[in-house]
Amino acid sequence: MLVAYPAWDALANYIDARRTGGLGRNKSQLLNFAVSIVATVAVAIALGHSMNAVLSVYGVWAVVSGLFQLLTAVRRWKTNGAQWAMILSGAQSALAGLFFVRMAGGTEAIGIANVAPYAAFGAFYFLVSAVWLSVSDVLRKSPRVAS
């Protein structure tokens, strides 16, 4: 899960950007894609050192990725409307990342349980965004019936 989550984020950014004009037109997603690829490799390497190293890398990635996600959502708000799930997810990611970095520098035992709630909330926000945007798209494309 620790390696798969940033890899999944990279893939999601790539697919989403491709559907909205490509990575060239979506600089925040291009940067998020690149950061997530680097984080995937860095987490895999950190696994060979310690969970503190993993959580440090993971935390830095969560902060940076969350900020890029916030930038994407704010940019899209003008054209796509309600991006509240993406904004909440980006803010939560950035804040959780700061918490992870702080925790990694501490003396408490660290394990996968420290990251699992973050991944669960991320999956929840991803699902909410997908459903919200799909329903909005259907409503926008459906013909209006005059009464």
What does the DSSP assignment read for 81-97? Answer: ---HHHHHHHHHHHHHH
DSSP code string of 32-55: HHHHHHHHHHHHHHHTTT-HHHHH
Tell me the whole-structure pTM to 2 decimals.
0.79
What is the rounded radius of gyration, in angstroms, for the C-alpha atoms of the chain?
17
| Domains in the chain, number | 1
Given this model, what pLDDT does residue 40 score?
Answer: 96
Q: Is residue 43 included in any domain, yes or no?
A: yes
Return the closest-CA partner of residue 10 out of 43, 41, 46, 34: 34
The DSSP secondary-structure symbol of 143 reads P
Instruction: Note down the domain range covering 102.
Output: 4-137
Given this model, what pLDDT does residue 106 score?
Answer: 83
pLDDT tens digits for the chain (147 residues)? 788 889 988 998 888 888 878 888 889 999 999 999 999 999 999 999 988 999 999 999 999 999 999 998 888 777 766 677 788 888 889 999 999 999 898 888 777 777 777 766 666 666 666 676 666 667 667 666 555
Q: Is residue 143 included in any domain, yes or no?
A: no
The DSSP secondary-structure symbol of 108 reads S
Q: Is residue 19 included in any domain, yes or no?
A: yes
Q: Token match 């459903």: residue?
A: 131
The span from the CA of 98 to the CA of 77, in Å, is 26
Q: Is residue 145 included in any domain, yes or no?
A: no
Q: Is residue 75 included in any domain, yes or no?
A: yes
